[in-house]
Amino acid sequence: MIKPDRDLIILGAGPAGLTAAQYGSRANLQVTVIEELSPGGQALFIDTLENYPGNIVKGTAAPKSGFELAQDMHRQAEDFGAAFITETAGSLKKEGELFRVTLGSGNTLTALAVIVATGAKHRKLGIPGEEEFAGRGVSYCASCDGPFFKGKKIFVIGGGDAACDEAQFLSRLSPAVAVLHRRDRFRAQKALAERVLSNPRIEVRFNTRLREIRGDQKVTALMLENTETGESYREAGDAVFIFAGTLPQTAAAPDVPKDENGYILTDQAMATSVPGLFAAGDVRSCPFRQVVVAAGEGAVAAHSAAEYIDRIKAVSG
Ligand code: NAP
C-alpha cells in the first residue's frame, strides 16, 4: 500500500471536528484537521453555553462562551498532537485504500480515514432586501452584531432553538425585541420557548411572515404578512436577525447517502457507507443538534476511525 501523508484527516473544526482531533491524537493517530475559518464552527456564535455539561455551576467562575470553549478545545487537540491547516477542502476521493483531499490551493493530502465534520450554515430566506441589507441591519448572529443595535427596534425571525436563544440575548441589549414566527407555535425546546414567551422585553408574534426588508443606507422597515388574515403591513425597525434553520455543508463528500434534508447518513459508529469515511456533528443526520452531541459524535467517529485504521494497517502489514 502507498504510504499516506497522515492516518486521519478531519474536515471541519467545529465541536465535532475538534473533539475527533483530540480523541484521534490521543489514540496515537497522526491527525490533520482542515478548516477554512477559525476553529469553533457554529459554537463561535453562542454567547452563553448554558446546556454544555459542567459549564454553568452556581457559585463558580462565569461560564465559557462558545468562543472560549472552542479555543480551549482547539488548544487541547493541538496539545495532543493534531495539526491544523486553514484552507478549503475542495474535493475528497477514495483511491484504493487511500483518501485524497484536494485543498483550495491545489495541494493534496492523503490519509487512511476521513471524518467529515463540516457542519451546517444558516439558511437564508431569499426575500427582497435580505442580500442588499446584509451587514447593514440584516444579521444571522446576535452575539456578533447585536451590540450595534443597543436600545433599537430589533426583529428576530424563526421559531426554533436558535431564534429563542438569540432573542433572549438580544433582549439584554434592547427592550424592543419582536420574535416573528410563521406558525402558531414554537419549534424550540419547551424551556427556551417558555423563557421567551415570559420575557417582558420580547414581543412574540405568531402567524407572521417576513416578506421584504426595506431601507436606504440601512434597514428602516419590514414588510410583514399576517398569515391568518392575509393582511400585509409595514413596520419600522432597525435590525432583523434571521434564524431559519441550517443547511448541511456536504460539498466535500457529494457521493455518500444523505437523508431527505441533505444530512449525511451514518450508522451508530458514525461510519458512512464508504469504508473509512465517517461523519460527525451538524453535517450528520441527527434529530438533536447540540454542541454536546457534536462533541460526543466526534469522539465516537475518532474511535471508529482508529479501529478501522488499525485493521487496514494490520492487513497491509
Ligand atoms: P430549526 O430548529 O430548524 O428551526 C428553524 C426555524 O426557522 C423554524 O421555526 C422554522 O419554522 C423557521 N423557518 C424555516 N424556514 C423559514 C422561512 N423560509 N421563513 C420563515 N421561517 C422559517 O433551526 P435552528 O433554530 O437554527 O436550530 C438548528 C439546530 O441547532 C436544531 O437542532 C437546534 O436544536 C440546535 N440548536 C440548539 C440550541 C440550544 O440547545 N440552545 C440553540 C441553537 C440551535 P417552522 O417551525 O414553521 O418549521
Domains delineated in the chain: 6-121+246-316 (3.50.50.60), 124-242 (3.50.50.60)
Reply yes or no on whether the pLDDT at 70 is more than 90: yes
Closest C-alpha residue for ligand 1 atom 24: 245
User: Are β-strands 108-116 and 98-103 bridged in parallel, bridged antiparallel, or unpaired?
Assistant: antiparallel
Question: Can you give the C-alpha Rg of the chain in angstroms?
Answer: 22
The pTM of the full predicted model, rounded to 2 decimals, is: 0.86
Q: Cα of 7 to ligand 1 centre, how many Å? A: 36
- Write down the pLDDT at residue 16: 98
- Write down the pLDDT at residue 46: 82
Q: Cα of 159 to ligand 1 centre, how many Å? A: 6
Residue 286 annotated in active site = no
Reply yes or no on whether the pLDDT at 317 is more than 70: no
Active-site choice (72, 144, 184, 267): 144
The overall average pLDDT reported for the chain is 95
CB atoms within 10 A of CB 96: 7
Question: What integer is the mean pLDDT of 1-13?
Answer: 93
Closest CA to 31 of 40, 41, 42, 20: 20
Question: What integer is the mean pLDDT of 7-15?
Answer: 98
pLDDT digits (tens, 9 = 90+) for 192-202: 999 999 999 99
Question: What integer is the mean pLDDT of 133-149?
Answer: 92
Closest C-alpha residue for ligand 1 atom 28: 245
Q: DSSP assignment of 50-87, as one string? A: TTSTTS--TTSSPPPPHHHHHHHHHHHHHHTT-EEEES
Determine what percent of the chain is predicted with pLDDT higher than 90. Answer: 86
Active-site choice (141, 165, 238, 286): 141
